[in-house]
Chain A
Amino acid sequence: MEAAIAAKLDPQLRRAASERPDSVVGVLLRTAAPVGARERAALEAEGLAVGSVAGDIVTGRVRAAAAPRLARLPFVVYVEAAGRVYPTQPPDTPET
């Protein structure tokens, strides 16, 4: 992977791209400018199933192997791997 491309990828995505290339991963992308139809089409052409656009951030799902190709797009600034969040309820509720 080219260094300039790797720099745009979250370390976890770099790892996924090399170790689990066929897995489908959730991603968040920061773009240099608001995403229009042309940019959206470019993202979809690289395999991103676009979820939503929140200002300069786009959500979607993509094969891990395609993540570097997303990073190669000139208007993509950074690609972050999906995190996982949980209900904020303590795991146990002791009682008498």
Chain B
Amino acid sequence: MIRWSLTLAALLLALPPNFAAAQQRPGAPQLPPRVQARPYVDPALRMLLRPEVRRAVERAPELRRGRERADERRRAQPFGGGIALDRGGASGSARVGVLVRLREPVPAALAALRQAGAEIGTVVGDIATARVPLDGLDRLTAAVELERLEAARVLEAVHDSSLAAIRANEVRRREGSLWFGAAGYGVIVGVYDTGIDYRHEDFRDGTGRTRLLGLWDQTIAGTPPAGYNYGAFCTVASLDSGRCAQQDNNGHGTHVAGTAVGDGSASDQSGNAYRYAGVAPAADLLVVKGGDGSFETPQLIDGINWIFQTAAALGRPAVVNLSLGGQFGPRDGTSLFEQALDNLTGPGKIIVVAAGNDGQNGNAFDGSGQPTERYLFHGMATPGVGTIHEFQIEVPAYGAVSGTCNDYAFIELWYESGDLLDLTVVRPDGSSVTATHGSRMEEAHPKGMILIHNAYAERVEDRPDPQNGHYEALIEISDCGNSGPPESGIWTLRATATTATSGNPFHLWISASQFGQGGFARGVTANFTNSHVVGSPGTARKVVTVGAFASRLCWPTADGTRCYIHKEQPGDIARFSSAGPSRDGRLKPEITAPGIAIISALSRDADPPGTLVAPDGVHWAIAGTSMATPHVTGAVALLLQREPTLIPDSIKAILQRTTAQDEFTQHAYTGEPDGTPNYQWGYGKLDVARSLTDLESLPPATMIVDAGPVPAAASSTSIRGTRLPLLRLHLRTVGEETVRLLSTGLSVSGEDPEASLLLIHDLDGDAVFDSTEPVLAETAAEIRAGAASTIDLLPRGLDVAPSDSASVLIVLELSGKVPNGTTFRATYEPDRIRTVGIRSGANQVQQGVESVAAPPVQTTVLLPGEIFALSENPVRSGHVVFNFRERPRIAGVYSLNGGRIVDLLTRMATDGRVDWDLTNEQGERVAPGVYLVVFDIGGELVRRKLIIVRPAAARKE
């Protein structure tokens, strides 16, 4: 049907250019009543009125095939594809499906349909379905008994069951290679992973050009991206031409990227194009390859930083997908790794992370119907003084790998600062090693080495981790050094508290293990749980963390359908999806998405078993929270398309409110009571359609404005004259959209007809403006004596994101033509402030409760007690303005050895003010260096140091 639709489209394009215009000309004269009573005809049907089009349809060999495929499709998509055509007419002639709105009386309308040769299907009220021979269309379009004729559409197959499960297919539609609706337009999706097959058609647009905006391969030498010193950067040109050397040999990154943004077009040759399109098929891509199978955390931070920097330079929002993680660290969001991720997020900068694959589904079964074996490796207990907590760990029977340090288990243990634990590890044969709090013990042994670092440090105060004040213990059981392989059987870890005051549990994780080929250690006592196994960085505070559920268990291959041996109930949590919470008790994961048998793009450089490859040969099926994560990443891209400045908290709030719930989401396999949210599902299952509806239905955000005076000490002068700070406005947005400040107004009294008013962004919030802070608005202020002037300031680009705030200063810049000592008064006028919600377009502002309007501010050119001010020092702008309280008796600039450079009195244009252009008395520019300003006011001789950094040439005005 795709091919057939394209054929029709091509025919339509081949029609004379005036064809469409002739159908509906704006301003055309009213037609006579009889002609007006003809039915409205869907434009898609109109083209079938042309004989040459009808002839082409009758000849088309794809017609039957298209119909059969359409009939096979089981699920409907609400946005259409091609017209429904078949060969069910007389002698196999072509027919078109129509929906008809009938005029009263209905029987007469149905008779008109039949007269046109239509085969009537269903009649519901005044609407009928029918199939009409193409040569009957002319008659139908002239039938006054009919009100409207609409072409029946062949609804496209759902792209993939995982997209249907999250209702991503309901928010967009496709025509040819173009996507409409929520498809990620304008948003950048970043993928940090094993790379990408950038030549895959799913990542090329309809013209064959790459959809990547850049690619950084951190693993090979080359020209790094600007600002970094390793790896190789591939430009769009090199990606377009295929000259970029990067490869995805693993295939993981390509699959992940495909789920997030692939357009599914690579299946075109199989006649099944777009079936495996991703969630945001119109988003652009930035990809960082960090490794083939593992990634280092600093390089990961660099990669995300680069993605956000690049997006910011393009003025675009971005969401980064991290289908990765590890079992290490405090798991409470305090590691530098996780805090760096938090630091990188912000308005329009979102990170989505996989929860990890260390969880269990207690209701999963293997091929023989037996419950899937459980591997628990998180243990916890609340310490009490004198109580011995025993954790039994099973090391499986295994054939030791030759060599050393390759049969091992690492155990990580974290306990709180109010508790002191002694730790003992007991081998299956009963021999043991103990490390008291703050000590380190190591023992080689024929039945396995034991190494314990128990918050080891020389000084007591150095033992806790400074990031959270908690103690970390590391335990290693291995065949390192002269030790033999660890003995199979039950190993026991004993924790004994000598102090226990925190009241909180301690936690341990078997964070890594390997015994022989594929053997793993696991906890076997009841104090091991299925909770607290979300990996890092999934426990970071500002990332969105994603678990996986089973939207299906089987997938198509060229040799038929394949299924996993281990099976969950369809719809239930994936048998591997890691459950939270974080160690500090925060809900993780926040949401779940499909993560079983997900079909997505296959890298040409990867070599998966054929049993995983889809019939088209360019997509494959795999499972993991890695696969669930890009569903959410794509969903976030759709939200950012609508509202580019959403912050992580807003994204989480929207996802939280709109998750789907069912009988599965109520139950967590963590031992907690039924109900949502819970530590297995978070708030529930991703529902893309609902999340977008929720975003649209959000009430407009409100900007709250608090006005107040500026501290007197903030007064200063500028190169153009004295700048007087008048008012400070504190702006904050309450709600879930960014609000833009359009204008603000105030009234000013005093006297300076040539003054200016400035709106300065007080970036550091210290109420002091400096040269680095941007001027957002500047307007002439004609301030005349005797009447206050009302002036509006129109800022450029002051957007305040949800839950964010900003400070601005309203500053009067004097012309320099008014006498010193002039007094100005300013009053903030709350009624003149204007804002607009970026998403809603709503103009809404609310004044602060505590200070509705600032009190009048009174100031002078020089503050009380001041006799002198400089526009800048050091002087970088090429000139400098001196303001004196009164005309000095003497005033000059001198070199350090006493030579006079210039007599300022000779250049004093108005009383007390000199605009010096840095030339000496001979008119020559003075050299950069240190000088002295010497003046005498009221008999007081004052010396001030003046530093000139740049000579006069740089003056700008």
Query: Which A residues fall within an 8 A CB radius of B?
Result: 3, 6-8, 11, 26-30, 49, 51-57, 59-61, 77-78, 80, 82-90, 93-96
Contacts and interface: CB of A to CB of B under 8 A. Distances in A.
Contacts of A7: 457, 459, 461-462, 466
19 contacts: A11-B472, A26-B298, A26-B299, A28-B340, A51-B299, A51-B305, A54-B340, A59-B298, A77-B466, A82-B299, A83-B335, A84-B294, A88-B323, A88-B625, A89-B623, A89-B624, A94-B564, A94-B565, A96-B565
- Interface SS of chain B: helix, strand, loop or mixed? mixed
B329 interface: yes
B714 to A, nearest CB: 22
A86 B297 contact: no
Contacts of A95: 562-565, 611-612
B293 interface: yes
Interface string B563-578: 1111000000000100
A54 B297 contact: no
A3 B326 contact: no
B453 A96 contact: no
Interface string B499-526: 0000000000000000000000000000
A28 B467 CA distance: 13
A40 B467 CA distance: 22
B417 to A, nearest CB: 15
Contacts of B335: 80, 83
Contacts of A56: 343
A86 B298 contact: no
A91 B922 CA distance: 82
A52 B326 contact: no
A52 B227 CA distance: 8
B301 A52 contact: yes
Interface of B: 193-194, 227-230, 250, 252, 293-302, 305-306, 323-326, 328-329, 335-337, 339-341, 343-344, 354-357, 367, 453, 456-459, 461-462, 466-467, 472, 474, 535-537, 562-566, 576, 611-612, 622-627, 629
B564 A6 contact: no
Contacts of B562: 95-96
Contacts of B357: 88-90
B305 A88 contact: no
Given A7-B462, A89-B624, A95-B611, A30 B336 contact: yes
A59 B340 CA distance: 9
Contacts of A60: 298
A84 B565 CA distance: 31
Contacts of A89: 252, 323, 357, 622-624, 626-627
A90 B566 CA distance: 13
Contact of B337 (A49, A77, A80, A86): A80
Given A88-B354, A96-B565, 10 more contacts: A30-B336, A55-B343, A55-B344, A57-B343, A80-B336, A82-B296, A83-B337, A88-B357, A88-B625, A90-B357
Contacts of B343: 54-57
A85 B467 contact: no
A69 to B, nearest CB: 18
Contacts of B329: 83
A28 B252 contact: no
A81 B656 CA distance: 34
A80 B302 CA distance: 15
B324 A87 contact: yes
A85 B539 CA distance: 13
Contacts, number: 163
Contacts of A57: 301, 336, 339-340, 343
A2 to B, nearest CB: 10
Those 7 A-B pairs whose CB atoms lie nearest each other, nearest first: A55-B343, A59-B298, A88-B354, A89-B624, A28-B336, A7-B462, A52-B305
A59 B323 CA distance: 21
B612 A93 contact: yes
Contacts of B459: 3, 7
Most interface-central of A29, A59, A94 (chain B CB within 10 A)? A59
A78 B467 contact: yes
A54 B459 CA distance: 31
A78 B566 CA distance: 45
Contacts of A55: 340, 343-344
B326 A87 contact: no
Contacts of B462: 3, 6-7
Contacts of A86: 293-295, 324-326
Contacts of B194: 87
A48 to B, nearest CB: 11
Contacts of B461: 7
A83 B193 contact: no
Contacts of B294: 84-86
Contacts of A6: 457-458, 462
Contacts of A59: 298-299, 301-302, 340
B356 A93 contact: no
A83 B301 CA distance: 11
A12 to B, nearest CB: 9
B595 to A, nearest CB: 9
Given A51-B228, A86-B295, A90-B624, A11 B301 contact: no
Contacts of B625: 88
A85 B298 contact: no
A54 B342 CA distance: 9
A93 B213 CA distance: 33
Contacts of B565: 94-96
A19 B877 CA distance: 54
A29 B629 contact: no
B636 to A, nearest CB: 18
A80 to B, nearest CB: 4
Most interface-central of A3, A60, A78, A80 (chain B CB within 10 A)? A80
A83 B340 contact: no
Contacts of A30: 336, 339, 467
Most interface-central of B295, B301, B367, B564 (chain A CB within 10 A)? B301
Contacts of A3: 457-459, 462
Contact of B193 (A26, A77, A87, A90): A87
A85 B336 contact: no
Contact of A54 (B193, B230, B305, B456): B305
Contacts of B576: 90
A11 B474 contact: yes
A31 B194 CA distance: 31
A26 B302 CA distance: 11
B626 A85 contact: no
A44 to B, nearest CB: 11
A22 B565 CA distance: 48
A80 B887 CA distance: 61
A88 B337 contact: no
A54 B345 CA distance: 10
A92 B623 CA distance: 9
A9 to B, nearest CB: 10
Contacts of B629: 88
Nearest to B546: A88
Contacts of A52: 227-228, 301-302, 305-306
B615 to A, nearest CB: 16
Contacts of A78: 336, 466-467
Nearest to A96: B563
A90 B293 CA distance: 12
A40 to B, nearest CB: 12
Contacts of B297: 26, 28, 82-85
B708 to A, nearest CB: 27
A88 B356 contact: yes
Contacts of B344: 54-55
A95 B230 CA distance: 40
A8 B622 CA distance: 42
B472 to A, nearest CB: 7
Nearest to B343: A55
Most interface-central of A52, A53, A84 (chain B CB within 10 A)? A52
Nearest to B328: A83
A83 B356 CA distance: 16
